Amino acid sequence: MNVEQFAEWYRRQGHHVIHTASSYWFDAAPRVYQAFPFGWLIAPSGKELRDMMLKYGILSMRYSTPLEASDGKVSYHVTLSNPYNLDLLRSQARNAVKRGLTKCVVDRVPFERVAEEGWNLQRDTLDRQGRLDSMTKEDWKRICLSAVGLEGFEAWAAVVDGELAASIIICRIDDTFYVPYAFSHRQYLDLYVNNALFYSVSCNLLAREGINGIFFTVQSLDAPKSVDDFKFRMGFNAKIVRQRVVFNPLLDPFITNTTHRVVTTLFKRYPEKTLLAKVEGMTRFYLHGKLPLNQQEWPDCVAQFKPVSHVDQPLEPYLQINNPSNIPSSAGGDDGKP
């Protein structure tokens, strides 16, 4: 599967897709575009970005770029590559996987089933994350059914007594598997179904010919920190990158610390409004991305690698951090997507 098929998945959902010199982009929100595939690190020129925003009336754009770039908020990608097996996991995570595998059956499931039964899981996941207004049941059906018949797309689930307990949607782009969605229901979390599902599917994917790794997620603008903590407890890796947010030239002068304070105040007053959460995140990422590396707030999973001063330092030690040691070792937990 190549990236064009992933773009077709977005088009089937009704998204607008743009292909430029640096990447592909889709409208993640009205007039807000996100680069994909999400694991690509790109460095589009200022002209490319300005031309896109002015031509299509785009308000803001977001993409991942290398740490050595001059702009962008310090962030991370959650990834996994070989070797990966039970012996590499901490004891609590290893035991959670074993317990989960005794409680559920992990296997591929049809997208039609995920479109129907999976909504109960996805809705519960969004509710736990405080993002319930970000998607409707019809949106969910369109996401799932748009993958039917598309090469490289698969759905997997942990099934308990015939019921979907946890599930993920995956797709292959070149030599990497991506995980656009992961969802589960809280009533099954004590059975460690997420641990069993993520471990079993990861082992299956990494054993396939021509696969070099799995990309799980980019740091979310607004999802709770616990979403990614679960993945780190499962032995996944944090790769340090920058996330860059760019605003339309006509809007850019108005994106200030004062603007961010106003948006933050509104979000605290209306925490259930996903749109406000996204706007707060985009504004925060934009403003923090203008700061030197040592003045930025680094995510907890990579904070131990923050440079102490803004001088020229070798960046190689920061580019791949495996199994961050500051993540609690408890193996239980929740999971979802940005």
3-state secondary structure 249-305: CCCHHHCCHHHHHHHHHHHHHCCCCHHHHHHHHHHHHHHHCCCCHHHCCCCHHHHHH
Nearest to residue 50, comparing CAs of 250, 218, 309, 322? 250
Which phi and psi (to 5°) does residue 4 adopt? -65, -35
User: Can you read off the two tokens belonging to residue 186?
Assistant: 């809280």
Residues β-bridged to residue 54: none
The predicted-structure confidence for 34-73, as pLDDT tens digits, reads as follows 999 999 999 999 999 999 999 999 999 999 999 999 999 9
Nearest-Å Rg of the Cα atoms of the chain is 20
pLDDT of residue 130: 83
Element holding 203 (H helix, E strand): helix 193-206
Tally: H helices and E strands in the chain: 10, 12
pLDDT of residue 227: 77
Q: Using a cut of 0.85, tell me whether the model's pTM lies above it.
A: yes
The predicted-structure confidence for 225-243, as pLDDT tens digits, reads as follows 777 899 999 999 999 999 9
Residues (pLDDT < 70) of the chain are 224, 309-338
Residues β-bridged to residue 160: 163
pLDDT of residue 78: 97
pLDDT of residue 334: 42
User: Can you read off the two tokens belonging to residue 152?
Assistant: 């490289």
Helix pair 91-103, 193-206: axis angle to 10 deg: 100
pLDDT of residue 115: 98
* Long-range Cβ contacts of 132-139 (<8 Å, 24+ apart): 132/272, 133/272, 133/273, 133/274, 134/274
Q: Which domains does the chain have, with CATH numbers?
A: 79-238 (3.40.630.30)
